[in-house]
Amino acid sequence: MMKPIGHFLWVIAEGYIPGQSFSQQKEFISHETACILNVCDKEAHIEITVYFSDREPAGPYKVNVPPKRTIHLRYNDLNVPEMIPRDTDYSSVISSDVPVIVQHTRLDSRRPELSLFSTIAYHNNL
Amino acid sequence: MMKPIGHFLWVIAEGYIPGQSFSQQKEFISHETACILNVCDKEAHIEITVYFSDREPAGPYKVNVPPKRTIHLRYNDLNVPEMIPRDTDYSSVISSDVPVIVQHTRLDSRRPELSLFSTIAYHNNL
Amino acid sequence: MMKPIGHFLWVIAEGYIPGQSFSQQKEFISHETACILNVCDKEAHIEITVYFSDREPAGPYKVNVPPKRTIHLRYNDLNVPEMIPRDTDYSSVISSDVPVIVQHTRLDSRRPELSLFSTIAYHNNL
Amino acid sequence: MMKPIGHFLWVIAEGYIPGQSFSQQKEFISHETACILNVCDKEAHIEITVYFSDREPAGPYKVNVPPKRTIHLRYNDLNVPEMIPRDTDYSSVISSDVPVIVQHTRLDSRRPELSLFSTIAYHNNL
């Protein structure tokens, strides 16, 4: 049995979904992803709050990660309680009831020459 | 009420604003950004000091982040006390009076095929 | 004699090997790499477990890093106990019996304009 | 007077200088950089050891960072005690006698469409 790995609270200060994509094929659409790994034996109940520069935060967005599973969650797909606006600066805080690990990735395909980045998210040690 | 998340002191050791851009559309101009999230209920007063390889540091540059807001601050836009020179190596130290989270992103558009990177900044645990 | 540097347990929450590459030259094939540095005087015995979104984890994959050596391990080359599927979301947990340092890199060459990213992996302080 | 920020020991597990570049203009030559910031009032004496997959480590490479200065050190320029080979996997350990902050960046210009990445390096808390 794997012992828990990770943290309960993560932050991705960068956030921006380009509104354009050179292709409408799913893997080439401009997107932002939070990769969330749950190595625990219990399901993780995740809540995401999205912060903006000029309005109140949105959320919480809720998603579950089954035990011993990973999800690569596209912010593009978050629709409840509201869609994440495109071409808009945001940040997100991700909390979980079991420890998880979060990595942040963007694919920018505004131009056909893709640009990708990825970074481990910030985790609070408290 | 969200309890504070983050740190008071952050460092971005990489810094370089390419002097060229293939387009003058704002979103495609080569730029460096510090994404700063403040989840607190109090405004964050940020001070940025910029270090160079061959001269005394510049700053402090001052910017505020309202409670529960994020800013994606373009170093290109910092003009007081002085502009950040283009095509010049620098580093920056970001301090805040409330805990914040900082992520560093560059868009390099010297060529029409964009290149992007992003990384969580360094935070001092002291 | 160098004293140990690093951690025993690392996580890369992002994972995805693009199934296409514009070239079949080894350095241009789309790949994911875990760069693992062992500065110790003893060999590191590494075990990698790979997590998916919709099935049980795979592994452990075993690899050794000799003392004072680095390996840039391509996930593309992992075949025992099973190949890592292409075009599939995954995450990985890397454990070692001596402290090591892990950095994660992807080269995406689905299009001839390469896209690269790299980030320090997550390490568990426990 | 700024109090010390940073750590004494840093690791960049990824390392690879592409042997080709589409241009010989300095800023477009494929390169790897360690951005090192010293906010202290004393000069930092840096020693870099480079690890390989199939031979003994090289170094130490020595470089100084004046007080309140940053250097963006190109690994391409390290020649004493020996050049860093191109197209070769390596890792590096960076130690300093005063606390510094290190960020790792690569520009890959094997193709005219640049690819860039950057990540905070690993720092040892011990």
pLDDT of residue C2: 62
**Mean pLDDT value of segment C35-54:** 97
Which tokens is B101 given? 């989270």
Percent of the residues in chain D that have a pLDDT greater than 70, as a whole number: 97
Whether residue C41 has pLDDT greater than 70: yes
Residues A101-120 as b/e (b if ≥16 CB within 10 A, e otherwise) read bbbbbbbbbbbebbbbbbbb
Chain centroid offset of residue B30 CA: 14
* Å between A92 CA and nearest CA of chain D: 20
**Mean pLDDT value of segment B29-55:** 96
The neighbour count for residue D103, using CB atoms within 10 Å, is 27
Chains that touch C (3 or more CB pairs under 8 A): A, B, D
Query: How big is the CA angle at C112 (ends C108 and C116), to the nearest 5 degrees?
Result: 30
pLDDT of residue C115: 86
Extended strands (E) in chain B: 7-12, 31-38, 44-52, 58-65, 69-74, 90-108, 115-120, 122-123
Percent of the residues in chain A that have a pLDDT greater than 70, as a whole number: 97
Whether residue D94 has pLDDT greater than 90: yes
**Mean pLDDT value of segment B76-84:** 96
Q: Hey, what amino acid is at A32?
A: E
Report in angstroms the alpha-carbon separations of B66 from B3, B60, B79.
16, 19, 21
| Residue D118 and residue D104 in contact, taking contact as beta carbons nearer than 8 Å | yes
| CB-CB under 8 Å, C113 with B117 | no
Report in angstroms the alpha-carbon separations of D14 from A13, A26, D57, D96.
24, 30, 15, 20
D115 to chain B: which residues are within 8 Å by CB? 115
- Identify which has the larger pLDDT, C2 or D92: D92
pLDDT digits (tens, 9 = 90+) for B82-98: 999 999 999 999 999 99
pLDDT digits (tens, 9 = 90+) for D31-42: 999 999 999 999
Residues C9-21 as b/e (b if ≥16 CB within 10 A, e otherwise) read bbbbbbbbbbeeb
Percent of the residues in chain B that have a pLDDT greater than 70, as a whole number: 97
Torsion region of A68: left, alpha or beta (phi above 0 gives left; psi -120 to 50 gives alpha): left
Whether residue D116 has pLDDT greater than 90: no
Whether residue D90 has pLDDT greater than 80: yes
CA A40 to CA A45: how far, in whole Å? 12
pLDDT of residue B124: 79
CA A56 to CA A49: how far, in whole Å? 10
- What's the pLDDT band for B2 if we cut at 50, 70, 90? low
B113 to chain C: which residues are within 8 Å by CB? 113
| Residue C12 and residue A30 in contact, taking contact as beta carbons nearer than 8 Å | no
**Mean pLDDT value of segment B16-29:** 89
pLDDT of residue C108: 87
Whether residue D8 has pLDDT greater than 80: yes
Per-residue pLDDT of chain A (126 residues; tens, 9 = 90+): 567 899 999 999 999 999 988 888 888 899 999 999 999 999 999 999 999 999 999 999 999 999 999 999 999 999 999 999 999 999 999 999 999 999 999 988 888 777 888 898 999 764
pLDDT digits (tens, 9 = 90+) for C65-107: 999 999 999 999 999 999 999 999 999 999 999 999 999 999 8
Residues B12-33 as b/e (b if ≥16 CB within 10 A, e otherwise) read bbbbbbbeebeeeeeebbbbbb
Taking any CB pair shorter than 8 Å as contact, residues of chain A touching chain D are 113, 115, 117, 119
Whether residue B72 has pLDDT greater than 80: yes
pLDDT of residue D111: 81
Out of C113, C117, C119, closest to residue B113 by CB: C113
Extended strands (E) in C3-84: 7-12, 31-38, 44-52, 58-65, 69-74
Which tokens is D9 given? 């020991």
Whether residue B44 has pLDDT greater than 80: yes
Out of C11, C56, C120, closest to residue A101 by CB: C11
CA B55 to CA D68: how far, in whole Å? 9
Q: Which residues pair with A110 in a beta bridge?
A: none
pLDDT of residue A2: 61
As a whole number, the mean pLDDT across chain B is 92
Out of A9, A106, A111, closest to residue B5 by CB: A9
* Å between C55 CA and nearest CA of chain D: 30
Percent of the residues in chain C that have a pLDDT greater than 70, as a whole number: 97
Query: How big is the CA angle at D117 (ends D113 and D121), to the nearest 5 degrees?
Result: 160
pLDDT of residue A14: 94
Out of A113, A115, A119, closest to residue D119 by CB: A119
CA D11 to CA C124: how far, in whole Å? 16
Whether residue B126 has pLDDT greater than 60: no
Whether residue D103 has pLDDT greater than 90: yes
pLDDT of residue C10: 96
pLDDT of residue A8: 94
